[in-house]
Structure 1
Amino acid sequence: MRYIQRSEYGVRPTTRVDEGDPLFVQAIARAMQVLSAFHDTGKPLTLNEIAAAGGMGKSAAQRVVHTLKQLGYIERDADDRGYVPGIRILDHARDYLRLNSLVVRASPVLIELRRNTRERVDLSLRDDLRLVYAARLQSKRETLFATLVGQSVPIYCTSGGRAVMAHMSDAEVDDIIKRSDRREITPKTITDPEQIRVKVREAREKGYALALEEILLGEIAIAAAILAPDGTPLGAIHIAGSLSEWDEETFCQRFAPLAGEAVGAINRF
């Protein structure tokens, strides 16, 4: 038994892999390890870098990279400095979004919420210790970070994460805190376990969670959880604005009811 790890913004979700499973295909696992090598890089990767990131030998990496390149899932970058993901990966991202029933039913609600708030509206889905953005409706000011579907953030220090944890037991919250790589993403990121628990309790009481500059300096974000019929938190809707335009009290008064109405509409489907 071993674990495949990915990391982004201090979050390292683990996928448990039983290599003794007779149905487990090692070649497919290696291909996914090669593709996952690009998660944490900001530049094209050489073959040696892909092999190191994927935990395999150079010859094995070369065969996998060659196959994926032939299929269009990896390509050389424009300046021929190394390898980058290929365009055909976007086909699979599209398939996930159009076939995910939660994303489909949330889309009209998000559009209406963006129209009413005129601020950035996000839909995130839970993946163990992180939230992954599945929809992002932009405001008038954005960075690349704030536009990418598939971008992920840790649960422990985000408004959406605390909204999700508010619908978990204390034991489940403690488990998330324990397993999270709690580090400061900005100087305002809350990493102390007890302070995180306080924020979760506040979210339980208020029905929404708030984060101030914990992922992006100058950003204020509010979120409410999306729930399965049995009450399991699946993700969250976020509304994000700028502290140059909003103070905490006014932002919450203006947008907390709208976030609550939005998740209520989605949860009723």
Structure 2
Amino acid sequence: MTKDKKYQSNSLLRGLKILEAFGAGRADMTLSQIAEEISVTSSAAFRFVHTLEQEGFLIKDEKSRSFRLAPRVMELGYSYIKSLDLGDVAAVHARSLRDISGFSVHVSVLENTEAVYIYRAMSPSPMVSNIPVGSRLPAFATSMGRIMLADLSEAELDRRFEGYAFEKFTDGTIETLTELKTALAADRKRGYVAQASQLAEGTVAIAAPIFDRSKHVIGAINISGHRNQLRPTEDQIEQVRNCALRISEMQ
């Protein structure tokens, strides 16, 4: 046994092989087919499949008693890929929005319960809102995070926020999942978020969702600034929403 092989986890490898087994012509597999595919007994396959199902990577069809990949599998690599593509596509439009609005512009994607910042166009204003690329902020407390979370189903929200500790950053910070769901319902209906920051006092932001061709939210864009300068108007909201729409049309 080589030194590298010594530290391998066979259970993890088998779990990954199960996920890899689903592909063209094999969208669904029964437990026995999965066991045969990874060369283990049905009882061993059951343990792996049960774990993957519980963690949201497989979905069981009770009628056919077969399994298929769950949407969560896509998150393993898609978040990284789309962040690279989205940042490149959004750059020109984000800079244009900054120049028109006079405020800093950020673009982010959603990873589990965090808004990950992938692009920034800084305003020259002395009271600038400046969040570095690569920052990971709690989605429930940010404008972009909120508008991205609003695209998720109630079941997906329950999964992501199970056992989640809602930290109170400001007096207006959301404190429970129930409260978050109520806010997201309003965000979803409105189509944007414009509010004082629930993460840092003194900052205001306007955020709009970015969609892919299937009309799924793949990211968000915002303008943000100090509350003494940025007081959301209909024109500013439309500027952000129109910018998000232009980026969406390029996906």
Does residue 20 of the first structure (1) align with residue 11 of the second (2)?
yes
Report the equivalent of 2:190: 206
Q: 1:132 Cα shift?
A: 0.8
State the Cα RMSD in Å.
2.7
Aligned twin of 2:89: 105
Q: Which runs of 5+ in 1 are unaligned?
A: 1-17, 25-95
**Alignment-derived partner of residue 205 in structure 2:** 221
Unaligned runs of 5+ in 2: 1-8, 16-79
* Alpha-carbon offset, residue 184 of structure 1: 1.0
- 1:141 matched to which residue of 2? 126
TM-score using structure 2 length? 0.63
Q: Which residue does 2:154 correspond to in 1?
A: 170
Cα shift readout 1:150-209 (whole Å, capped 9, x = no counterpart):
111111121111111222222223333435331112333212323212221111111101
Shift of 1:234: 1.6
Pairwise CA distance, 1:217: 0.6
Cα distance in 2, alignment partners of residues 20 and 259 from structure 1: 47
In structure 2, the partner of 1:266 is 247
Check whether the contact 1:122–1:135 (CA below 8 A) recurs between aligned residues.
Answer: yes
SS of the residue corresponding to residue 140 of structure 2 reads coil
Aligned residue number for residue 119 of structure 1: 103
SS of residue in 2 equivalent to 1:173: helix
SS at match of 1:146: coil
Matched, 1:256 2:237: yes
Aligned length: 177
Does the 8 Å CA contact 1:157/1:191 hold for their aligned counterparts? Answer: no
Task: Determine the C-alpha separation between the residues in 2 that align with 1:128 and 1:19.
Answer: 26
Q: Which stretch of structure 1 is more off in the superposition, 184-193 or 110-119?
A: 184-193
| Equivalent residues of 1:199, 1:209 under 8 A apart | no
Q: Any idea what SS the aligned residue of 2:238 has?
A: helix
Q: Which secondary structure state, in structure 2, belongs to the residue aligned with residue 239 of structure 1? A: strand
* Identity between Structure 1 and Structure 2 (%): 23
TM-score by length of 1: 0.59
Paired amino acid for 2:130: A
SS in 1 for 2:201: coil
| Offset, 1:267 | 0.9
Q: CA 1:141–1:196 in 2, change beyond 3 Å: closer, same or farther?
A: farther
